[in-house]
């Protein structure tokens, strides 16, 4: 090899060494960063391993093992479960968002028929009230309405009640998405466990709507429709802006009822 060729090769080898050195430096930096992050990653896995919802779980559905997963929480919430088998087969009392811990107060032993006395108080949000309405097989969807269901209320009334002559029978849908808090009188047995049709439903309402409801119960024929659980909206967690408390209810009469639902209109 000539002296000139050897002189040209040296700078090329030098550049190659520089490139290799740079690559090794980058790899070393990446390795150091990964090692430095290990304590942080390990920190996220500390705590008590408890059962959580692997996806959103709807109220009154039977919880399957596939709906659950195990995750670490620190501190662990009270009444949490540590094994999936302890939750699978139970029923969700309320909507449970994905990633939320499953605790004993969120589930019941039975998936479809929850006990009327599984809690010591009615779950009434601030500003709302509980109202009990009569029901029967023909009125209440054959007795299939259960705790946590949502019902639609229909009223049939003769327009002569509002002073119209001659009067005619008119049907109006008066309330939708009415949440059923309890079914039948309080007892220690699960609702409808005996196969008998209950005589009452305790539902959630604001105080203003309850006045309209009582007027209709006294002057109209009421029937209920059972809504699909896939159509349920979110339950209220704060007072209704249109009727924030019991004091907002000031009384209703025929004129108020007709104005709200237009029983005497021609359509």
pLDDT at 171: 92
pLDDT at 119: 47
Each of the 267 residues of the chain gets a pLDDT tens digit; together they read: 555 455 545 556 666 667 677 777 777 767 766 655 544 434 345 778 999 999 998 877 788 889 999 999 888 888 899 999 999 888 887 889 999 999 988 887 654 444 444 444 677 888 899 999 998 888 888 888 888 889 999 999 999 988 888 889 999 999 999 999 888 876 544 444 445 678 889 999 999 999 999 999 999 999 999 998 888 888 888 898 899 888 888 898 999 999 999 998 865
Q: Domain 48-108: which topology?
A: Type Iii Antifreeze Protein Isoform Hplc 12 (3.90.1210)
Q: Which of 151, 131, 152, 155 is nearest to 216 (CA)?
A: 155
- Helix (H/G/I), strand (E/B), else coil: 111: coil
All CATH 3.90.1210.10 domain ranges of the chain, comma separated, are 48-108
Q: Where are the alpha helices (DSSP H) in the chain?
A: 3-44, 207-219, 254-261
pLDDT at 233: 82
pLDDT at 84: 92
pLDDT at 74: 85
Burial class (CB in 10 A: 0-12, 13-18, 19+), 168: exposed
pLDDT at 194: 43
The secondary structure of residue 194, as a DSSP letter, is T
């Amino acid at each position: 090899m000539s002296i000139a060729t050897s002189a040209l090769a040296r700078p090329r080898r030098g550049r190659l060494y520089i490139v290799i050195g740079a690559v090794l430096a980058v790899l070393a930096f990446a390795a150091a960063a990964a090692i430095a992050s290990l304590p942080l990653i390990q920190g996220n896995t500390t705590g008590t391993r408890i059962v959580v919802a692997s996806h959103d779980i709807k109220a009154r559905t039977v919880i399957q093992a596939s709906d659950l997963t195990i995750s670490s929480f620190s501190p662990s919430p009270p009444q949490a479960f540590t094994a999936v088998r302890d939750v699978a087969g139970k029923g969700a009392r309320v909507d449970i968002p994905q990633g939320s811990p499953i605790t004993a107060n969120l589930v019941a032993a039975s998936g479809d028929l929850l006990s009327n006395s599984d809690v010591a108080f009615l779950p009434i949000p601030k500003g709302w009230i509980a109202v009990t309405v009569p029901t029967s097989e023909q009125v209440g969807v054959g007795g299939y309405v259960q705790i946590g269901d949502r019902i639609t209320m229909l009223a049939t009334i003769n327009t002569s009640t509002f002073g119209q002559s001659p009067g005619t029978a008119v049907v109006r849908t008066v309330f939708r998405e009415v949440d059923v808090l309890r079914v039948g009188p309080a007892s220690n047995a699960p609702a409808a466990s005996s196969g008998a049709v209950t005589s009452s439903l305790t539902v959630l309402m604001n105080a203003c709507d309850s006045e309209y409801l009582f007027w209709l119960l006294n002057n109209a024929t009421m029937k209920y429709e059972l809504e699909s659980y896939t159509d349920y909206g979110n339950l209220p967690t704060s007072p209704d802006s249109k009727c924030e408390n019991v004091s907002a209810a000031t009384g209703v009469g025929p004129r108020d009822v007709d104005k709200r639902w237009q029983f005497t209109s021609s359509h």
